[in-house]
Amino acid sequence: MHDLTGRVAIVSGAGSVGPGWGNGKATAVLLARQGASVFLLDINEAAARETAGIIEGEGGKCAVHRTDMLDSASVQEMVQACLDRFKRIDILVNNVGGSEPGSVETLSEEAWDRQIDFNAKTAFLGCKYVVPVMLAQERIGKSQGAIVNTASVAGIRVSGARPQVGYTASKSAVIGLTKSVAAAYAKQGIRCNTVIPGLMHTPLVEYRLARQIAGNDAEALIAKRNSQVPMGRMGTGWDVANATLFLVSDEANFITGTEIIVDGGFSCFGPGGS
């Protein structure tokens, strides 16, 4: 099941902001375990190198590249470097992104622009420069290429408790981008889907959110986030990785333009929000 032997996968944001398993890091390791050669890109080369050490330690194949997904030239250079190294690109996981809190009154224009760029433009640039490569190559397996964009439940449901207008709008844009790419390339066999994580316990919680929204009280934030999920706990990077793996595998060959929500029931029930 989900055999990726011979496939080449690019994972953006393949490191993580702190020790532990971010969504991109877990996804990169899982794709390598399934036989893919994984091109690990990150703006923080050391973070990607840590992921590479894990993959290589397990006997997997990977390469590391420092890339800024906000910078078109850097993305183009990364795509060429992947081709130089692995000769093809079968899978693209656009995982870079993150939130800045704020309502229309409190979020600055600059922060709004940053949010749109960080979440939506990074995914756009990934698709823009990888799709032509996928179209031009000989197909391996049942798809010409498979793309997964990472959104967030913030893109499909709104928390009255803590507005994050830029994050909600930009993650909604990711869902729209996915559908648009899926429709445009369905005939040629490139599939594009979105994974929508809910409240996940990734290093981001301790290393950024605690400071940003919880006065540095990580324990209280973790307890609050756990209590907000109908299943009583946050998910992990592995939950996101497993959904992503399914969507890029041949087992999902008739699935395109849609979403898998990975949130323990968060988006279908109850008030609150992180």
Ligand X SMILES: NC(=O)c1ccc[n+]([C@@H]2O[C@H](COP(=O)([O-])OP(=O)(O)OC[C@H]3O[C@@H](n4cnc5c(N)ncnc54)[C@H](O)[C@@H]3O)[C@@H](O)[C@H]2O)c1
Catalytic positions are 167
Is 152 an interacting residue with respect to ligand X (CB under 6 A)? yes
Q: C-alpha angle 209/12/15, rounded to 5°?
A: 55
Q: Which is nearer to ligand X, 41 or 144 (CB)?
A: 41
Q: Which is nearer to ligand X, 74 or 180 (CB)?
A: 74
Q: Binders of ligand X: how many residues, by CB under 6 A? A: 29
Q: How far is the CB of 167 from ligand X (least distance, A)?
A: 8
Q: Which is nearer to ligand X, 21 or 86 (CB)?
A: 21
Stretch that binds ligand X, among 29-37, 39-47, 140-148, 179-187 (CB under 6 A): 39-47
8 Å CB contact between 190 and 248: no
Stretch that binds ligand X, among 28-36, 96-104, 138-146, 183-191 (CB under 6 A): 96-104
Is 149 an interacting residue with respect to ligand X (CB under 6 A)? no
Is 98 an interacting residue with respect to ligand X (CB under 6 A)? yes
Q: Which is nearer to ligand X, 102 or 144 (CB)?
A: 102
Is 242 an interacting residue with respect to ligand X (CB under 6 A)? no
Neighbours of 188 (CB within 10 A): 13
Site string for ligand X, 180-219 (x = CB under 6 A): -----------------x-xx-xxx---------------
Binding residues vs ligand X (CB under 6 A): 12-13, 15-17, 22-24, 42-44, 47, 67-70, 95-98, 150, 152, 197, 199-200, 202-204, 237
